[in-house]
Amino acid sequence: MDFSSKLLEQAVDEMSQLPGIGKRTALRLVLHMLKQPESQTKQLADALTKLRTEIKLCKNCYNISDTDLCAICANPSRNSEIVCVVEDIRDVMAIENTDQYRGHYHVLGGKISPMDGIGPSQLSIKPLIEKVQAGKVEEIIFALSSTLEGDTTNFYIYRQLEGIGIKTSTIARGISVGDELEYADEVTLGRSITNRVPFENSAKN
């Protein structure tokens, strides 16, 4: 694209670095900003700068937090002996929304993915193992997505925990509530039969 303005070009270039935002979308967004009051662009720029410079990771669970210890880890009514291993804060938010879980989390910050150059050392796996070795954890729940990377990460952590004698589980895979069986994929349907639950437990929610 041939811009008549270097300032515009720079803004579009920076904007299009974001994932899923091409040059055209970036231009549309930037032109929209130019039509809005100047204060709105300032607020966005400030919020991004502040986030990037002041944000912390909870020193216990590595979730994004404004404080040293996140609200979940700091809450005494939550069970710190059950730890749910997730990829990022979006998974924490999704599980919190269910109101079904009162344990702690451990946020890995990603999944092992050699293709993207992400190895175990870039993730917060070591602190998790140390927490378990310190005898502070009773059960680990793996809640990573069931992709190649998710399964690899689960398995890597599982191997590290071998011999410590800790209870491990993964979240149940099965047919979504309200879904029709005929449209379910075979792997999911297969797992939902293999891991069937006693009928009297099925409505516990």
With CB under 8 A as the contact rule, the residue among 15, 123, 137, 144 that binds a copy of itself is 15
Structure tokens at 111: 């999944």
With CB under 8 A as the contact rule, the residue among 10, 145, 147, 169 that binds a copy of itself is 10
Q: Where are the alpha helices (DSSP H) in 120-180?
A: 125-133, 148-161
Q: Is 205 in the site for a copy of itself (CB under 8 A)?
A: no
Q: Is 121 in the site for a copy of itself (CB under 8 A)?
A: no
Residues 87 and 108: beta-carbon distance below 8 Å: yes
Structure tokens at 142: 């793996």
The rounded distance, in Å, linking the Cα atoms of 197 and 173 is 12
With CB under 8 A as the contact rule, the residue among 80, 89, 166, 184 that binds a copy of itself is 89
The rounded distance, in Å, linking the Cα atoms of 140 and 184 is 28
Stretch that binds a copy of itself, among 39-47, 164-172, 178-186, 191-199 (CB under 8 A): 39-47
Measured CA distances, 74 to 52, 102, 167 (Å)? 23, 13, 24
With CB under 8 A as the contact rule, the residue among 22, 66, 147, 190 that binds a copy of itself is 66
Q: Is 153 in the site for a copy of itself (CB under 8 A)?
A: no
Number of residues that bind a copy of itself (CB under 8 A): 62
Residues 23 and 12: beta-carbon distance below 8 Å: yes
Query: Under the rule (CB under 8 A), what is the footprint of a copy of itself?
Result: 1-8, 10-11, 13-15, 17-21, 25, 27-36, 38, 40-55, 63-66, 70-72, 88-90, 92-93, 96-97, 109-110
